[in-house]
Structure 1
Amino acid sequence: MDTATSPTRPPQATPRDWIALAVIALPCLVYAMDLTVLNLAVPHLALDLAPSASQLLWIIDIYGFMVAGTLMLMGTLGDRIGRRKLLLIGAAAFACASVLAAMARSAEQLILARALLGIAGATLAPSTLSLIRNIFLDQRQRTFAIGVWIACFSSGATLGPLVGGVILTYFAWGAVFLAAVPVMIGLLIVGPLLLPEFRDENAGRLDIVSAVQSIVASLALIYGMKRTAESGFGWEAMAAIALGLAVGALFISRQRRLADPMIDLGLFRHPGLGAALAINVTAMLGAMGIFVFISQYLQLVLGMSPMEAGLWTAPSGVCFAIGSMATPQLVRRWRPVDVLSCGLVLASLGFLLLTRLGESQSLPVLMGAILMMCLGLSPVGTITTDLMMRIAPAERAGAASAISETSFEFGGALGIAVLGSLVAASYRVAMADVPLPGIPPEILAPARRTLDAAAIAADKLPEALAAPLREAAHAAFAHALDLAALACVGATLLALIIARTRLSRA
């Protein structure tokens, strides 16, 4: 039985426990930052590494894919070897992979380094969240601690562009990865002193086959969707999607047979669990995906520097932090499902407002949309994560937190992939029919594929040729951004429907 429901008051957190919360929340902020820290660096690395459109998307989203694909393995591993031990191992690996990413000299090297970062990052989230589950036994204190954890996660993801903008003002794009190194070194120093160790003493053996299946299924499905949006529904996309579905079915079947499964399917007997995971995926799809294109809009359409663009997106992190920290207080006065529903309605209106960007009022409209989106989505993580932690037994906290975090990461990576593919396809179609005479074909061809290439091409052309190219590219990107925002409206409304129909008793 959960300790929060015991007739006697559960043990209260000590000052040392609250200091431990700060220690484990900080690396979560850093690893979440790596999901978005490249947003403002995209134009710089595109110029330096010259990646293709497909490589550029993989550079951005391979980190999230690998985190999502390996989280369940790492959550189970933490239950077995110890959550603190796994956290420290992951911190060391994250620091090393960050240095490798900073030293990358080709698109392929950067994709590989980002993949290694994702694997290392997957050790951090389930370790930190499961430690919170074991440290804070009082339900109210645990809900507040989870709110702090979610605030760090959300703030890290949204403050990534600001950090990237500051770094890019003074250093080359590779330096954006080095910001994580001092934090991870600090965790290695103070972690053994302040963090307690927890593990499942009755844990069974790890199942590497299940881990490989989860990674293959995730990557195959996302690759198939990317190929569909970029090149149409061809045989390659169909084969990838079919492979992902087949391997996913084998993964689920294997979990049912194993004595020590990677995912305890018994947890899914709770009627609210599946709904919470679905809400995480649909809500994060818009939250993570849209900011990639907002950053590009600020730099490549409005002509801002990385520093300016980072400053304009900084309020999003503040809003996420405020909303996440306020949620535990709100759910004491109103039902969690009502707080969640109001937030999702506000976020939907924010995404809808994003379609009203115009040349004369673009910044006021954009800032209003960002504030509405972030405040509206901020209760999602705290409410759904707290539900997951209440459902799961303490000895399975690592696996349960991995399932919850997987839905966040998968939703964010899915948003970047799906919205990125949608924007790329829409931009390409819009630019295909625009007459741009006088521009050499070898310059015009890449400019018709991506906004980054159009900006680079315009800088090489005389103003008489560059002006119509910029105008056409900006119009095509604005239309693509409208479509992405409408897709986010649909995803957020879907999350609202799931919340109202499946979490009405939460």
Structure 2
Amino acid sequence: MLALELRAGRKEWTALAVLMLPVLLVAVDNTVLSFAVPAISLALNTTGTTLLWIIDIYPLVLAGLLVAMGSLGDRFGRRRMLMIGAAGFAALSVAAAFAPSAEALVAARAGLGVFGAMLMPATLSLIRNIFTDRRQRRMAIAVWAAGFSAGAAVGPLVGGVLLEHFWWGSVFLLAVPVLAAMLVLTPLCVPESRDPHPGSVDVPGIALSVLTMVPVVYAIKNLANEGSPAVTAAAAGLGILAGWLFTRRQLGRPEPMLDVRLFRVRPFTGAVLVNLLAVFSLVGFLYFVSQHLQLVLGLSPLQAGLVLLPGLAVTVIAGFAAVPLVRRMPAHLVVSAALLLSAGAYWMVAAAGQGAPAGTLMAAFALLGAGVGASETLSNDLILSSVPAAKAGAASAVSETAYEVGSVFGTALLGSILVSSYRSQLQLPAGLDPEQASAASETLGGAINAAAGLPADTAGQLLDSAHRAFDSGVQVTAGIAAVLMLAASALAWWTLRPQTKQPASTALPHTP
């Protein structure tokens, strides 16, 4: 029992610094891609649906495999999975950078999702095993969560410089030097850890976890793209059925890949949902604000990154501030208040109207960052603290799955609503050929491309209509997101409250 109470020293904090490298990498990759969306849209002339798939396929594949990779890390070694993931991620980052078409970029991003699924559960589960003292672990998790924000802050600035001087693919090459350093330092600084009593590899469970995610997101995209209602219903039904079968399978196994009984405990389930919804709000905001700043207001990628930099800094600060704050206030109140800030940020955008100025978006993103920073730190701590250290990989996978599902649905749901609203509001001027009309109707980037080949008067009419349609969609999307964040705040207040009495059959193992 004494071993569980050992406090971390210099060696453990050095290991944490090394584990921040893949965290920074994933954060930079996500933010850079958001800012590269306009350039990709213009360069590859993508459809609206393909553009969403370029963004979504990585977190979609990653989310489907996180539970499996977390379980494999528990069995075969978390550091080993980290190293394999780093090598594969570096190779496919190069492939994505030189992708010749939108379809090739989607394929490369899917491969990145496979190896990314090896990286993230390993980092968080290693932290759970390295830091056994509860207060130190909470601070380490705050550092881990702040790594996402720091990477997001660096991403737009570095990515902005790259996009102004090089082609869009250069943003993917940012991963290579980070991963090279990680491959050298990890064996020297990070200890290996694994579950001493792992379960067997559950291949059908892995397949069912993927089948749960992919069809549901496809159904959302198909619905937003005004596809066949029958296809939408069939895809959603397949995902729900696979999820039910996955749950039944895990309940019947003596050593499940994911102990779904954890979700019977209200605070655990609440923390997972808070994690998901906080990321949902962040990714959805970045998806439309990056396009508004660059394609509507005409800012360069670097200027757009600078507009959002204060909000990203606030995200980091809020994550660290939540650690001492939660010692004085109940966690459910802190998280609930944080999500109210996120709701307020979306209301600011919805109320700003057409052509929202950069200053308004800067203030709104700072407000959103404060909410996301605090809620992410505390929800991850609650998830990890609820399980024994030996099962940290599975718990980390749950946390990371929530993060990536939130990322998927942030763009799939809010992005699809935005695309659908844009199409319904766009009014095409006379004089466009069928190809130009089709491109303009897909995305704002497509409308800008089409306008380049039109007479000045017609081009001006098209661009004015496209900007108005896009911003109208942003208002609708922001209003819906604000309501969802209000609901998330109420959910956090109810689910994260301390329980006075917990049934023995659903009690979680005690951890320090």
TM-score range, shorter chain: over 0.9
Q: Distance in 1 between matches of 2:355 and 2:19?
A: 44
Q: Distance in 2 between matches of 1:209 and 1:500?
A: 37
TM-superposed CA distance for 1:47, in Å, is 2.8
Say whether residues 1:482 and 2:463 are aligned partners. Answer: no
Q: Distance in 2 between matches of 1:59 and 1:9?
A: 44
Q: 1:467 maps to which residue?
A: 460
Please show how residues 277-296 of structure 1 align to structure 2 within 5 Å.
277-296=272-291
Summarize the Cα distance change of 1:436–1:243 in structure 2 as closer, same or farther, 3 Å threshold. Answer: same
Q: 1:340 maps to which residue?
A: 335
AA matched with 1:21: L
TM-superposed CA distance for 1:232, in Å, is 5.2
Q: 1:411 maps to which residue?
A: 406
Alpha carbons 2:354, 2:472 under 8 Å: kept: no
Please show how residues 76-475 of structure 1 align to structure 2 within 5 Å.
76-157=71-152, 159-231=154-226, 234-357=229-352, 362-431=357-426, 434=427, 436-475=429-468
AA matched with 1:24: L
Q: Distance in 2 between matches of 1:315 and 1:398?
A: 34
Q: 2:61 maps to which residue?
A: 66
Q: 2:502 maps to which residue?
A: none
Q: Distance in 2 between matches of 1:484 and 1:111?
A: 25
TM-superposed CA distance for 1:159, in Å, is 4.5
Summarize the Cα distance change of 1:62–1:192 in structure 2 as closer, same or farther, 3 Å threshold. Answer: same
SS in 2 for 1:332: coil
> What do you get for the CA RMSD once the two structures are aligned?
1.7
TM-superposed CA distance for 1:36, in Å, is 3.0
AA matched with 1:497: A
AA matched with 2:424: V
AA matched with 2:380: T
Alpha carbons 1:35, 1:64 under 8 Å: kept: no
Q: How many residues are matched?
A: 499
| Deviations, residues 413-450 of structure 1 (Å, cap 9, x unaligned) | 1111111110010000001xx25123334312321221
Please say which of residues 343-352 and 353-362 is displaced more in the overlay: 353-362
TM-score, normalised by the number of residues in structure 2: 0.94
Q: Distance in 2 between matches of 1:157 and 1:408?
A: 15
TM-superposed CA distance for 1:320, in Å, is 1.2
| Deviations, residues 322-344 of structure 1 (Å, cap 9, x unaligned) | 11111111111211111112111
Please say which of residues 137-146 and 249-258 is displaced more in the overlay: 249-258
TM-score, normalised by the number of residues in structure 1: 0.95
AA matched with 2:168: W
Summarize the Cα distance change of 1:480–1:358 in structure 2 as closer, same or farther, 3 Å threshold. Answer: closer
Alpha carbons 2:90, 2:176 under 8 Å: kept: yes
Summarize the Cα distance change of 1:292–1:360 in structure 2 as closer, same or farther, 3 Å threshold. Answer: closer
TM-superposed CA distance for 1:233, in Å, is 5.9
TM-superposed CA distance for 1:354, in Å, is 0.8
Q: Distance in 2 between matches of 1:399 and 1:220?
A: 23
Alpha carbons 1:290, 1:484 under 8 Å: kept: no
TM-superposed CA distance for 1:95, in Å, is 0.5
| Deviations, residues 263-304 of structure 1 (Å, cap 9, x unaligned) | 012323322111111222222211111211100001110011
AA matched with 1:449: E
TM-superposed CA distance for 1:358, in Å, is 5.1
SS in 2 for 1:144: helix
TM-superposed CA distance for 1:70, in Å, is 0.6
| Unmatched segments (≥5 aa) in structure 1 | none
TM-superposed CA distance for 1:41, in Å, is 1.6
Please say which of residues 230-239 and 272-281 is displaced more in the overlay: 230-239
Q: 1:505 maps to which residue?
A: 498
Q: 2:509 maps to which residue?
A: none
Q: Distance in 1 between matches of 2:16 and 2:421?
A: 44
| Deviations, residues 203-226 of structure 1 (Å, cap 9, x unaligned) | 121112111111121010000011
Alpha carbons 2:353, 2:475 under 8 Å: kept: no
Alpha carbons 2:272, 2:383 under 8 Å: kept: no
Alpha carbons 1:12, 1:138 under 8 Å: kept: yes
| Deviations, residues 334-391 of structure 1 (Å, cap 9, x unaligned) | 1111111211111111110011335686122111111111112211111111111111
Say whether residues 1:36 and 2:10 are aligned partners. Answer: no
Alpha carbons 1:159, 1:317 under 8 Å: kept: no
Alpha carbons 1:166, 1:310 under 8 Å: kept: no
AA matched with 2:173: L
AA matched with 2:364: A
Alpha carbons 1:159, 1:313 under 8 Å: kept: no
Alpha carbons 2:199, 2:257 under 8 Å: kept: no
SS in 2 for 1:249: helix
Q: 1:16 maps to which residue?
A: 11
Q: Distance in 2 between matches of 1:343 and 1:264?
A: 29
Q: Distance in 2 between matches of 1:248 and 1:77?
A: 20
Q: Distance in 1 between matches of 2:73 and 2:170?
A: 31
AA matched with 1:375: A
TM-superposed CA distance for 1:489, in Å, is 0.7
Q: Distance in 1 between matches of 2:164 and 2:125?
A: 38
TM-superposed CA distance for 1:50, in Å, is 2.4
SS in 1 for 2:452: helix
Please say which of residues 41-50 and 400-409 is displaced more in the overlay: 41-50
Please say which of residues 262-271 and 223-232 is displaced more in the overlay: 262-271
AA matched with 2:431: G
| Unmatched segments (≥5 aa) in structure 2 | 500-512
TM-superposed CA distance for 1:143, in Å, is 0.2
Alpha carbons 1:348, 1:493 under 8 Å: kept: yes
Please say which of residues 185-194 and 330-339 is displaced more in the overlay: 330-339
Alpha carbons 1:282, 1:494 under 8 Å: kept: no
Alpha carbons 1:283, 1:491 under 8 Å: kept: no
Alpha carbons 1:207, 1:262 under 8 Å: kept: yes
Q: Distance in 1 between matches of 2:113 and 2:181?
A: 20
